Structure 1
């Protein structure tokens, strides 16, 4: 799929719709499942036996999703081509006993999730979203719509803030307001129960919840030539969406041969991936083993398939900031709309090596799209992704890539209109290409 403005705009608008439908990781996999159902995929239950063979399938485990397309001629040693991403974003998570407040204000008790850029969450209309688990084990998605705000202190009461810098205590200052009244007589869980669509939920029956804070402002295209896109949660729904779009397009071709195409969208990457639905957990290996079993693979044949497999770890990266260019490598300075990043780190914070770099160069050339190299400034620590985790845990060859952003971990991040489309285009080619 060569680049063109119309296709890129269509893709970015669909990304905006996906982000808007996905205020939490649980919503992100639900919306992905809905789209996969519409494309003829079959949702499978991990607790039940699976029939092996060709087809298009997916499973959801908490806030993670694995989807795959097995071609008609797949056999015991057929390789897996995996696009790895994650569904969670830096935010705030609702605490136990969440209804607090003082001086007539109602406030929500929240805990920092991951590494959000705290000041970017101030003075915004925010919602609560996630899953409620009832005492009988049933689960419901909830989203409240605009409900919360972290109000900033007026400059008249902090005259030196522009000179001395803004300091925010995570405990003292990051307590959003959601109303007025006496917290003793109010119940935030009642508002979460009201946020469940299509079902009547008794708040007193809520046994547990995984609920986060999310921005409610709609995504937007802007800029002198409409070249920019602003949205929350692009780290890393930009990659999850690209993989989803590419996998659905690949499945529509009804592939007869080639690799088994897999989208692995993990949860909890922003807090280290150590969970049953994270990249350090067994979810991807569980699915790959069961796919191999369904194809009649022996242990040795499964190892052959893994040895021939490849994972593209897709996670958002940094574009050069015009006001802080000294924070970037002096030579490698990626720009928005310059193509997806090939992320490289000598200390294997990214899993890219020469073989992965060569594969990525070939895929981008064949897809007729540009790409850019990213390496961090030596004086700054380098972040990481699910790439090294997947490579280490499963032994699968891995390369790290992603869409360049400004304002990463802000409540509202910024990318170029072209780059997410470029990523989806090369991913679709990757899904059908022997690595």
Structure 2
């Protein structure tokens, strides 16, 4: 990684005598000075990225300053030297306010403050500004007049100001810097002010963030959890999200495990749990972060902007937490057949199709347990090894499995063997009485070996304490990267766990920004159960869960007597993103896709359009979302079903009609929708995070652009 041209090292301006030349400048940087800076650096417990940066800085010192400083080292007033950036945010603000000859104090270690030069900029490739038409002061007279001096100072001030803002907010678009520089100094368009590649920008951000976390003033940056969340999420490229997503999918195979995972992640990021049974009037406050669940299978999480008031808008994202599966029947015990122990299950949505046959299936879900005091609690169980299997009929028997199969009698999973009937006078020896306890108890209706296994897994000594459960089957094959370059993700339950996961990641990331402290809106994610079966239950999107939560939030922030007018005002200023997977183009069936409406993997989110109202997308919401995508630099695709094909639905229409909010349907493309195992791109979860971050970060500004009295 050692290079002689520092593309991500940090430049600091240092005042030097006019007569200092390139040669003397290089030689006059004493070993003692370099040693002091390097000692300050290594006082940290440095991660690899910091070591890389130090190595680059060391190599840069060996390069000529003719290459480093704007292609010019003999500027009569200043030159540049490499050193770590001053670390705390308030120190950067001090630097911004100080004069050209001032110097900022930066704590390079907790006990050894060191004076550093005032300017901190991203290094620009050697001679790049000159190549773009920027005038080099060295080509002018060595006698720099006051006007030229002032112009040079303004240029540096603009660069410093925007660089600091970018570091502090992590959100300033490069175009803003370009335009500002052009207006004030007549600079030509610069390829980039922060580095040639997004990878270098990312490393630069990580470097600055690392230095911030290791200063005595780091407490001013917010909670430890928030900084951890920012480090884990905000500083990543789309492909960096693949492994975390894969791990999530493997470890959380049921809807209950997924909701519990998200609750734990939100807690670590500083979100507080709300109870629907208690008043929120004294709980909610600006800059607060909260979540609540319903039924253990649906979740709403939101962060409140520091300038939020009742009646302000909400940026909402809605996805669904459920996936196709097969759930155990209330009485799942079945009589043995041909020595096979079978399990009574029922398909949830479109499960038990041919993709479920001959798969290794585990069992998981929630178990309700009564303790000695009579209190009921929920425990989650995951039997993650292959337990059940739906065997196919060999083709030698004729039509085999590809005729009309009866899901009740011919698609019953096998969970074990019991040949005890061969040595018994009774053909049916597998009885529920094998479990001790009252015949009317719940456990007496379930396979005894399964009851014993779950009780052991959960550490339950008295099996009668199990009063009920909701268990389902899942594919035990782990989620994994695939393809020659590992640019694919193979996993079960991608629909719609991928959009749900991306939404929560984006919400946590957005809530850590400095910008959120001055935001006037609420950012919200709703993950709803039962989408695959119509959303009609209390935990579904067609319930009062989301509108009721919004109403309670608006009421709690109202200082005067609550009025429904505030709620309607909120809805008028809000925007809903219905976020569900969509169909990627299958190369083996191109004739099934509408021309110019065939999304690809690893490209970007897809706008879902349906002329019959199965989605919410229209011209206004499309224009809004396109503007949001422009602001965060994301590409969009479009999908529409052919006229000779049927269309699926989403939670978008039911939610937008209940609340009257503007809405759009977008999704992450995937192959093999409703298969037990599907495919998406390795960048797609991360592209989802980046786009939803853009929704939360940009909605307040974009709403203002569309608030022109058009009845939208």
Q: TM-score, normalised by structure 2?
A: 0.58
Structure 2 CA distance for aligned equivalents of residues 283 and 201 of structure 1: 37
Match of 1:168 among 405, 413, 437: 405
2:376 is paired with a residue of what secondary structure?
coil
Match of 1:317 among 582, 586, 593: 582
- 2:246 pairs with 1:13: no
- 2:274 pairs with 1:44: yes
Q: 1:202-351 residue pairs with structure 2 within 5 A?
A: 202-254=462-514, 255-256=516-517, 257-296=519-558, 298-351=563-616
Match of 2:378 among 111, 117, 139: 139
Residue aligning to 1:152: 392
Match of 1:180 among 417, 437, 440: 417
Distance 1:172-1:327 versus aligned 2 partners, 3 A rule:
farther
Q: CA deviation at 1:167?
A: 4.1
2:260 is paired with a residue of what secondary structure?
helix
Residue aligning to 1:189: 451
Match of 1:88 among 322, 330, 337: 322
Residue aligning to 2:184: none
- 2:294 pairs with 1:61: yes
Q: CA deviation at 1:307?
A: 1.1
Normalized per residue, the structure richer in helix is: 2
Q: CA deviation at 1:338?
A: 2.2
Unaligned runs of 5+ in 2: 1-170, 172-196, 203-235, 419-428, 435-446, 704-712
- C-alpha deviations, 1:384-420, integer Å up to 9, x for none? 0100110112212110011111111111110011222
Contact 1:3 1:369 in 2 (8 A): no
Residue aligning to 1:104: 339
Q: Whose Rg is larger?
A: 2
Match of 1:400 among 665, 683, 700: 665
What RMSD in Å do the two structures reach over aligned CA positions? 2.0
Structure 1 CA distance for aligned equivalents of residues 430 and 314 of structure 2: 53
Q: CA deviation at 1:201?
A: 6.0
Structure 1 CA distance for aligned equivalents of residues 404 and 484 of structure 2: 34
Structure 2 CA distance for aligned equivalents of residues 45 and 268 of structure 1: 22
Structure 1 CA distance for aligned equivalents of residues 656 and 413 of structure 2: 40
- C-alpha deviations, 1:10-43, integer Å up to 9, x for none? 2111111221232111111100001011111111
Structure 2 CA distance for aligned equivalents of residues 44 and 154 of structure 1: 54
Contact 2:314 2:523 in 1 (8 A): yes
Contact 1:231 1:413 in 2 (8 A): yes
Bigger drift between 149-158 and 294-303 goes to 149-158
Q: CA deviation at 1:352?
A: 0.7
Structure 1 CA distance for aligned equivalents of residues 451 and 278 of structure 2: 33
Q: CA deviation at 1:205?
A: 2.9
1:432 is paired with a residue of what secondary structure?
helix
Q: Work out which structure has the larger RCO, using CA pairs closer than 8 Å and 6 or more positions apart in sequence.
A: 1
Contact 1:21 1:31 in 2 (8 A): no
Match of 1:416 among 677, 681, 688: 681
- C-alpha deviations, 1:308-350, integer Å up to 9, x for none? 1111010001011112222221331111112111000011101
Distance 1:203-1:393 versus aligned 2 partners, 3 A rule:
farther
Structure 1 CA distance for aligned equivalents of residues 403 and 489 of structure 2: 27
Normalized per residue, the structure richer in strand is: 1
Structure 2 CA distance for aligned equivalents of residues 407 and 246 of structure 1: 26
Contact 2:310 2:554 in 1 (8 A): yes
Structure 1 CA distance for aligned equivalents of residues 393 and 461 of structure 2: 37
Structure 2 CA distance for aligned equivalents of residues 275 and 22 of structure 1: 23
Unaligned runs of 5+ in 1: none
- 2:337 pairs with 1:72: no
Distance 1:202-1:379 versus aligned 2 partners, 3 A rule:
farther
